């Protein structure tokens, strides 16, 4: 179908349905079909907790199903050999889909003259249980392998949609960004990525022991011993989802944490992404990476129940796979603002800086920070997690759902960001006529601050950066 000068294909299968005996296995090539396939409707999305507030799908709820491995393509009319931007959605590896209205690729494809592809992947226990120790066809990082299968589909097929398979930029936010760091480190993704944009998600992976502990806890909750794990393929999907939620609540106390995420595994992710990057695994691949100024305020909102500081620290330790963060707490107040600040600084900002610096000897890196706020708004009066996404996609109508009028300054910021993202996809450099963005280096740590008047700042918050990288007693 065509929409506003852009051709759109929805619900294109890039792998076979991962159901029955294929549950918890690596994705297999898609099944062929005869004749013309209808590509006017989005495919089902991965099983996940329900979207009760309508934030992900505000107009019409999707179909949730294990048969979820579909992608969507937006291409300018008469596209020919255009760069491709593959979006990997976030959602703490538990929620989300490439078909969310917020990720509509129309404006980005049209204004940036690029092909936009959004993908689904298996989430939660279906995508990120560490199961390879069980042997057989059980795999670890199934969700990561789904993303690789989508990239392989792009390489093999995107020319038919007007795209250049040699110019594929992956971009993603939160869990999508963490996924991209893992993709750069995965031997199975070699040769599939020409550029990478990581939004609000550092390199992060669980140790094998930590991942296996989570698997054992889930098996126990389901009443299964490891030797009975074959029954995981016959249990109702809802039973597994509910058991995962119970285990998460017990282990994190409801504090923000990444319970399911990539895990170090010999076949799919043999080394922590930050270590692999330092060894040159992403040699020659240009990278953009950044965070938002108040990431943590998205998770610790004014008026919401506040976990006790120790509980929040334990949840963060669970996420990072670290033994002790108590040395860090003394530098932050035991308040909502303090807990939000710890999450912003340790998980998001420090992790992004560490990954950026691990890449420097092997390819160009650009760093940004998103500072834009809307005064007096209940959520966006801070530059919270996810706040940059409408500006990158040019989907400012999403902000109207949050009670905002779209101002000229908002449109200008969106034009600036969308232009930089598209320029990067075209040339591997985000410079545009309206934005000069120097590369990041240890000499000056140049960082582009996206705000009402965007500008480059050298080494923003140097004292805090030095503190975060000197906390040896915290084990980070």
pLDDT(254) > 80: no
Other CB atoms within 10 A of residue 470 CB: 9
Tell me whether residue 385 is one of the annotated catalytic residues: yes
> In the chain, what are the domain boundaries?
2-207+258-470
Written as six digits, the tokens of 445 are 């740590």
Nearest CA-CA partner of 206 in 282, 258, 143, 137: 258
| Residue 294 tokens, joined | 């108040």
Q: Return the pLDDT at 55.
A: 82
Strand 115-119 vs strand 287-292: parallel, antiparallel, or unpaired? unpaired
Per-residue pLDDT, averaged over 194-215, amounts to: 93
473 is catalytic: no
What integer is the mean pLDDT of 83-99?
A: 96
Q: Identify the active-site residue in 152, 173, 272, 295.
A: 295
State both tokens at 259. 């319970």
Choose, from 174, 179, 200, 454, the residue flagged as catalytic. 174
Spell out the SS3 assignment of the chain. Answer: CEECCEEEEEEEECCCCCCHHHCCCCCCCCCCCCCCCCCCCCCCECCCCCCCCCCCCCCCCCCECCCCCEEEEEEECCCCCEEEEEEECCCCCCCCCCCCHHHCCHHHHHHHCCEEEEECCCCHHHHHCCCHHHCCCCCCCHHHHHHHHHHHHHHHHHHHHCEEEEEEEEEEECHHHHHHHHHHHCHHHCCCCCEEEEECCCCCCECHHHHHHHHHHHHHHCCCCHHHHHHHHCCCHHHHHHHHHHHHHHHHCCCCCCCCCCECECCCECCCHHHHHHCCCCCCCCEEEEEECCHHHHCCCCCCCCCCHHHHHHHHHHHHCCCCCHHHHCCCCCCHHHHHHHHHHHHHHHHHHHHHHHHCCCCCEEEEEECCCCCCCCCCCCCCCCCCHHHHHCCCHHHHCCCCCCCHHHHHHHHHHHHHHHHHHHHCCCCECCECCCCCCCCCCEEEEECCCCEEEECCCHHHHHHHCCCHHHCC
Q: How far is CA 182 from the centre of its chain?
A: 10
Residue range 2-207+258-470 forms a domain whose CATH class is alpha beta
Neighbouring-strand partners of residue 210: none
- Per-residue pLDDT, averaged over 194-216, amounts to 94
Q: Tell me: the pLDDT tens digits for 128-156?
A: 999 999 999 999 999 999 999 999 999 99
Examine the pLDDT at 319 and tell me if it is beyond 80. no
Task: Quick: pLDDT tens for 26-65.
Answer: 999 999 888 899 999 999 999 998 877 778 888 888 999 9
Tokens linked to 327: 């040395």
Task: Please report, in angstroms and rounded to a whole number, the separation of the first and last CA atoms in the chain.
Answer: 50
Arithmetic mean of pLDDT, 182-205: 95
Phi, psi of 456 (to 5 degrees): -95, 130
Can you tell me the mean pLDDT for 364-370?
A: 98
Mean pLDDT of 92-120: 96
Q: Is the pTM here over 0.85, yes or no?
A: yes
d(C-alpha 199, C-alpha 287), whole Å: 11
Examine the pLDDT at 119 and tell me if it is beyond 90.
Answer: yes
Could you read off the pLDDT of 78-90 as tens digits, one per residue?
889 999 999 999 9
Q: Which of the following is catalytic: 385, 398, 414, 454?
A: 385
Residue 252 has pLDDT above 80, yes or no: no
Q: In which band, very low, low, confident or very high, does the pLDDT at 473 lie, cut at 50, 70 and 90? A: very low
Q: If you average pLDDT over every residue of the chain, what do you get?
A: 92
Distance CA 413, CA 385 (A): 17
Q: CA–CA separation, 358 vs 182, rounded Å?
A: 14
CA–CA dist 27, 303 (Å, integer):
43
Confidence of residue 70 (pLDDT cuts 50, 70, 90): very high
* Residue 80 bears catalytic tag: no
Angle at 211 between CA 200 and CA 219, to 5 degrees: 125
pLDDT in tens, 263-310: 999 999 999 999 999 999 999 999 999 999 999 999 888 878 888 888
Give the tokens for residue 261: 């995420």
**Hey, what are 230's tokens?**
């074959």
Asked if the model's pLDDT at residue 474 lies above 60, the reply is no
């Amino acid at each position: 179908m065509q929409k506003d000068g852009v051709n759109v294909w929805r619900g294109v299968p890039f792998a076979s349905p991962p159901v029955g005996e294929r549950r918890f296995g690596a994705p297999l090539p898609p099944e062929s079909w005869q004749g013309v396939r209808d590509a006017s409707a989005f495919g089902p999305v991965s099983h996940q907790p329900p979207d009760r507030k309508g934030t992900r799908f505000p107009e019409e709820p999707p179909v949730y199903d294990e048969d979820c491995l579909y992608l969507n393509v937006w291409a300018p009319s008469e596209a020919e050999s255009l760069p491709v931007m593959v979006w990997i959605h976030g959602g703490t590896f538990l929620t989300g889909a490439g078909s969310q209205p917020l990720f509509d690729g129309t404006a980005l494809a049209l204004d940036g003259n690029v092909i936009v592809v959004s993908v689904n992947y298996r989430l939660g226990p279906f995508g990120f249980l560490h199961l390879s120790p069980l042997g057989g066809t059980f795999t670890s990082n199934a969700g990561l392998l789904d993303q690789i299968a989508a990239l392989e589909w792009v390489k093999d097929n995107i020319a038919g949609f007007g795209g250049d398979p040699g110019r594929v930029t992956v971009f993603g936010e939160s869990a999508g960004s963490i996924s991209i760091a893992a993709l750069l480190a995965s031997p199975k993704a070699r040769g599939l990525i020409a550029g990478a944009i990581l939004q609000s998600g550092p390199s992060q992976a669980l140790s094998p022991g930590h991942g296996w502990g989570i698997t054992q806890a889930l098996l126990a909750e389901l009443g299964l011993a490891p030797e009975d794990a074959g029954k995981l393929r016959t249990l109702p999907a809802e039973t597994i989802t509910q058991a995962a939620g119970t285990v998460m609540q017990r282990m994190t106390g409801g504090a923000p944490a990444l319970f399911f995420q990539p895990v170090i595994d010999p076949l799919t992710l043999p080394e922590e992404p930050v270590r692999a990057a330092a060894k040159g695994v992403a040699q020659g691949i240009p990278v953009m990476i950044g965070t938002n100024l108040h990431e943590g305020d998205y998770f610790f909102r004014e008026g919401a129940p506040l976990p006790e500081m120790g509980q929040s620290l334990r949840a963060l330790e669970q996420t990072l796979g670290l033994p002790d963060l108590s040395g860090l707490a003394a530098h932050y107040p035991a308040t909502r603002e303090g807990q939000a600040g710890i999450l912003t600084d340790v998980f998001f900002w420090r992790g992004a800086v560490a990954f950026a610096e691990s890449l420097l000897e092997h390819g160009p890196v650009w760093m940004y920070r998103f500072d834009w706020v809307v005064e007096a708004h209940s959520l966006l009066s801070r530059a919270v997690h996810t706040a940059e996404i409408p500006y990158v996609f040019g989907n400012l109508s999403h902000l109207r759902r949050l009670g905002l009028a779209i101002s000229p300054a908002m449109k200008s910021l969106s034009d600036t960001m969308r232009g930089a993202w598209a320029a990067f996809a075209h040339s591997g450099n985000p410079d545009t006529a309206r934005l000069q963005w120097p590369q990041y280096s240890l000499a000056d740590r140049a960082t582009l601050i996206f705000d009402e008047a965007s500008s480059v700042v050298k080494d923003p918050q140097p004292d805090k950066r030095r503190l975060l990288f000197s906390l040896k007693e915290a084990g980070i």
